[in-house]
Chains A and B, each alone.
Chain A
Amino acid sequence: MSFVSRGFQGRRKADADAGRIPPGQHATDDFPVLSAGPTPHTSLDIWTFSILLGDEGKSWTWKEFNELPTETVTVDIHCVTRWSKLDTVWRGVSVDTLLDEVEHDAAYVLAFCDGGYTTNLPLEDVTGGKAWIAFEYDGEPLDPEHGGPARLLVPHLYFWKSAKWVRGLKLLDEDEPGFWETYGYHMYGDPWREQRYAGD
């Protein structure tokens, strides 16, 4: 039994451009911190990012990673918990740049992270300028709470796919469910088709 609480609105922005808000979402000015575990604190001395194909692949140290070309992008992000944040600014290395270094014909990736979090995506959703390994948010180094030193950024899908504390991408032939996908969240996660849960 739910009944309306007189005058309750929450902290939603009333004036957001409705065309930019996917179904079931509301705009916010906040940037909520949501996690499945404690914030890792990996020293940049030992941090690496890897693209793995079986046991092989390519790895970059933090220093090498910072020598790669970067892009600054302004994107809207949509969390499955129903908040959307418009015009967020990130700087990162395009995943295309990283995947160009490895020969493969994989169809899927599994992002893996410090702390054990994983999430899966089709290869074509992290290529063609759709995904970055982001290390700056709003002009500042990415806060550990928000995934720093670096997180995956895939804004066209629900934000649980933008894995925090990302350490690499495993290249796979088959789609393999990651952390939340294993618990019933959608394998793909398109906010515009409201693909929150498996079977949506």
Chain B
Amino acid sequence: MVVTAVTDETPRVRTLQLAVDDWPGHRAGQHVDVRLTAEDGYQAERAYSIASAPGEPPAITVERLDDGEVSPYLTEEVRTSDRFEVRGPIGGYFVWRSESSDPLLLVGGGSGVVPLRAMLRHRARSASTARARLLYSSRSLADVIYRSELEQLANGVDVVFTLTREQPPSWSGYTRRVDTELLREVAWPAEHGALAYVCGPTSFVEAVAEGLVALGYPPARVKTERFGATGGR
């Protein structure tokens, strides 16, 4: 596969547009396994969620982890026309299909927003009328990935940000980590029969999933994808 475009989303986050031979198409929420090989044969492999909607060419959005082995390379070194190995698309559980008309609750922490953004793009492109709400936790406004895209969503999508470390002076939104109380205020009530997708660092996902179940969401209606302690996989 070859990198066709590189976009900086935030100071630490970059999106790579890919052209993959014989790409079979993908579903919203799936990921790819990226494998890098050094000249001496050393290899490293990581999984990255697909940031684009079904029907769009595959793209991945990568957050640079300070102690990362692969992410610094993908976010700082990679240029258009670079090639590396990609396996996928992969995933069948953490997938949203546009045929679903149930209210959709998306809860993302940090780079956990990536597969959720693919779901929202898919929803828009398929003219779905399912009500959707994204609750997105970031450290600061500068760390909000896809910010202008998310701020411009309309047509039945609510986006709620919480900025946990730093907020602009005029900020009137949430300023704390997602807890059960915040979920109570933001999530669709359990009786609405929503389908929830939760993605981000492991501790974030577990706290949110527990909170939604405490609010009455059936566990089978809360789908989780853990990115590990630091947000990468």
Do the two shown chains form a genuine complex with each other?
Answer: yes
Contact A30 B67, beta carbon cutoff 8 Å? yes
**Chain B 66-80 per-residue mask, 1 if CB under 8 angstroms from chain A, else 0:** 011110010001000
Among A1-9, A40-48, A94-102, A177-185, the stretch that binds chain B is A1-9
Residue in B67, B69, B83, B85 whose beta carbon sits within 8 Å of that of A10 in the complex: B69
CA of A3 to CA of B42, assembled, Å: 11
On chain A, the residues within 8 Å of B43 by CB distance are: 2
Contact B36 A8, beta carbon cutoff 8 Å? yes
Known: A3-B85, A5-B82, A5-B84. A10 touches B44 (CB 8 A): yes
Known: A10-B44, A12-B42, A26-B42. A5 touches B67 (CB 8 A): no
In the complex, what's the smallest C-beta–C-beta distance from B125 to chain A, in angstroms? 32
Kindly identify, within residues 1 to 47 of chain A, every residue whose CB is under 8 Å from any CB belonging to chain B: 1-12, 26, 30
Contact A3 B83, beta carbon cutoff 8 Å? yes
On chain A, the residues within 8 Å of B44 by CB distance are: 8, 10
Is B100 an interface residue, CB under 8 A from the partner? no
Contact B38 A8, beta carbon cutoff 8 Å? yes
Contact A7 B85, beta carbon cutoff 8 Å? no
Contact B85 A8, beta carbon cutoff 8 Å? no
Contact B69 A5, beta carbon cutoff 8 Å? no
Kindly identify, within residues 78 to 125 of chain B, every residue whose CB is under 8 Å from any CB belonging to chain A: 82-85
Is B155 an interface residue, CB under 8 A from the partner? no
Is B37 an interface residue, CB under 8 A from the partner? yes
Residue in A5, A12, A26 whose beta carbon sits within 8 Å of that of B37 in the complex: A5
Is B39 an interface residue, CB under 8 A from the partner? yes
Contact B37 A9, beta carbon cutoff 8 Å? no
In the complex, what's the smallest C-beta–C-beta distance from B183 to chain A, in angstroms? 25
Residue in B38, B68, B70 whose beta carbon sits within 8 Å of that of A4 in the complex: B38
**Chain B 20-51 per-residue mask, 1 if CB under 8 angstroms from chain A, else 0:** 00000000000000011111011110000000
In the complex, what's the smallest C-beta–C-beta distance from B38 to chain A, in angstroms? 5
In the complex, what's the smallest C-beta–C-beta distance from B41 to chain A, in angstroms? 8
CA of A88 to CA of B70, assembled, Å: 25
Which of A5, A12, A26 gathers most chain B CB within 10 Å? A5
CA of A5 to CA of B44, assembled, Å: 11
On chain A, the residues within 8 Å of B35 by CB distance are: 2
CA of A156 to CA of B36, assembled, Å: 30
CA of A2 to CA of B84, assembled, Å: 8
On chain B, the residues within 8 Å of A2 by CB distance are: 35, 37, 41, 43, 85
On chain A, the residues within 8 Å of B69 by CB distance are: 10-11
In the complex, what's the smallest C-beta–C-beta distance from A7 to chain B, in angstroms? 5
CA of A178 to CA of B38, assembled, Å: 34
Known: A2-B37, A5-B36, A5-B37. A10 touches B82 (CB 8 A): no
CA of A43 to CA of B124, assembled, Å: 53
Known: A11-B69, A30-B67. A4 touches B42 (CB 8 A): no
Closest to B229 in A: A33
CA of A131 to CA of B98, assembled, Å: 59
CA of A4 to CA of B39, assembled, Å: 6
CA of A7 to CA of B3, assembled, Å: 14
Contact A3 B37, beta carbon cutoff 8 Å? yes
In the complex, what's the smallest C-beta–C-beta distance from A70 to chain B, in angstroms? 31
CA of A9 to CA of B43, assembled, Å: 9
On chain A, the residues within 8 Å of B70 by CB distance are: 10
Sample (7) of A-B pairs whose CB atoms are under 8 Å apart: A3-B83, A5-B38, A8-B77, A11-B67, A11-B68, A12-B42, A82-B42
Interfacial residues, chain B to chain A (CB-CB below 8 A): 35-39, 41-44, 67-70, 73, 77, 82-85
Give 7 new A-B contacts, CB below 8 A, not counting A2-B35, A8-B77, A10-B42.
Answer: A2-B37, A5-B38, A6-B82, A8-B73, A8-B84, A11-B67, A11-B68
Interfacial residues, chain A to chain B (CB-CB below 8 A): 1-12, 26, 30, 82
Closest 4 CB pairs of A and B: A5-B36, A5-B84, A8-B36, A11-B69
